[in-house]
Amino acid sequence: MKKIVFLTILMTLPLVAGTSCSTSAQKKVKQEASDYAELSVTYEVDKQVVEESPRKDSDLMRLDIGQHSSQFRSVIIEWVKDNGLVYGSPESLNHPFKGYKWLHYQVVKHLPKPGYQFFTYDRISTRDRVEGLFQWELLTGDTVVCHYHCKKARTTFRGRTWTVWYAPQLAYSDGPWKFCGLPGLVLEAIESEGKLAFRCKKIERETGYGIVLVKHNVLPMLNFSGNDLLDVYMPERAAELMMLEHWDVQEFVEQMCGKLTTPDVKGTQILSIQKDGRTVATIHNTAILYEKYPSIDIKKKYPHK
């Protein structure tokens, strides 16, 4: 009898209306939260997922900046959750974000502990000190992004070199993903190999979006016990698991959740199937992550069986 080992729900999602650069206010959305956004910046995030395919996935992600914290998360996932839907369910395909895929991660800065930022990917959580995390080189050159005058900077962070444009007029030492430490808000960031990029699409003030560090299981189709985040603390360990998910999905699931059986799974798209104790279908890809760790050799540590 076949047994589902793992599934994914990175579905292709429909283009959002009005993604051109604009500065506007929206009706406040009150949520149970620790902080509320006084500035919200929506970015188009382009990411090459694996080395084996040049195709890039795009998501719309929003940076909400409050009085004492900030949060960077997928607009699409937020829409699915706000409508009481399950990711990948037929109902979740009725959305206004055609052509986009959601990326399952978020970054929360200064919450719940000031001075730290928390990165979560599905159930995995890590943390970094904000102070001194990036070493920036301020460069000559300027441009305009979403109607704001921006200056240029560059950094090499955990194996990748980034060129960014930041707006001193927006006096927030913040940015998409983990970026921070500049005298202004990062509105655009491009990785030197062209595989990863963040580009500002819209800036809104006084939106009131709730800022919350999610601590529950964000993959509700898996019924494993213990819905809290698996805090692995170290970015290196998170990177290994995220690479393993693309390289050997069965091993990834077993390290994350233990062995799964059919009743553990409620989802749809099957990546790996076992029959008579033998894997008959799987995917082996080399994941492209925002952070590189040369010491982690997934192919050597987990050779094909």
Distance (Å, whole) CA 273 – CA 293: 30
In this prediction, residue 269 carries a pLDDT of 43
pLDDT digits (tens, 9 = 90+) for 90-136: 777 777 888 888 888 999 999 988 999 999 998 889 999 999 999 99
* DSSP letters for 28-93: ----S-SEE-SEEEEEEEEEE-BTT---EEEEEEEEEE-SS-EEEEEHHHHHHHHTT--TTSGGGG
Distance (Å, whole) CA 191 – CA 186: 14
In this prediction, residue 275 carries a pLDDT of 47
Residue 61 has pLDDT above 90, yes or no: yes
- Which runs of E-coded beta strand occur in 193-285? 196-205, 210-211, 230-233, 270-275, 278-281
In this prediction, residue 260 carries a pLDDT of 61
Instruction: Identify the band that residue 15 occupies on the pLDDT scale cut at 50, 70 and 90.
Output: very low
Q: For the beta carbon of residue 115, count every other beta carbon within 10 angstroms.
A: 9
Between 31 and 251, whose confidence is greater? 251
pLDDT digits (tens, 9 = 90+) for 235-283: 999 999 999 999 988 788 788 777 665 555 544 344 444 545 555 446 7
Instruction: Identify the band that residue 226 occupies on the pLDDT scale cut at 50, 70 and 90.
Output: very low
DSSP state for residue 100 in the 8-state scheme: B
What SS3 class is residue 183? coil
What's the chain's average pLDDT? 81
In this prediction, residue 52 carries a pLDDT of 93
Q: Which residues contact 303 (CB under 8 A, 6 or more apart)?
A: none
Q: For the beta carbon of residue 235, count every other beta carbon within 10 angstroms.
A: 18
Between 14 and 44, whose confidence is greater? 44
In this prediction, residue 227 carries a pLDDT of 47
Continuous H helices in the chain: 75-82, 235-247, 249-257, 298-301
- The dihedral built from the CA positions of residue 55, 282, 290 and 110, taken in this order, carries a sign that is positive
Residue 88 has pLDDT above 80, yes or no: no
Domains in the chain, CATH or no CATH each: 12-211 (2.50.20), 230-301 (no CATH)
Q: Which residues contact 155 (CB under 8 A, 6 or more apart)?
A: 134, 135, 136, 137, 161, 162, 164
Residue 16 has pLDDT above 50, yes or no: no
Between 5 and 71, whose confidence is greater? 71
DSSP state for residue 249 in the 8-state scheme: H
Q: For the beta carbon of residue 11, count every other beta carbon within 10 angstroms.
A: 18
Q: Which residues contact 179 (CB under 8 A, 6 or more apart)?
A: 134, 162, 164, 186, 189
Q: What is the pTM of this model?
A: 0.82
Least confident of 12-26, 73-87, 125-139, 287-301: 12-26
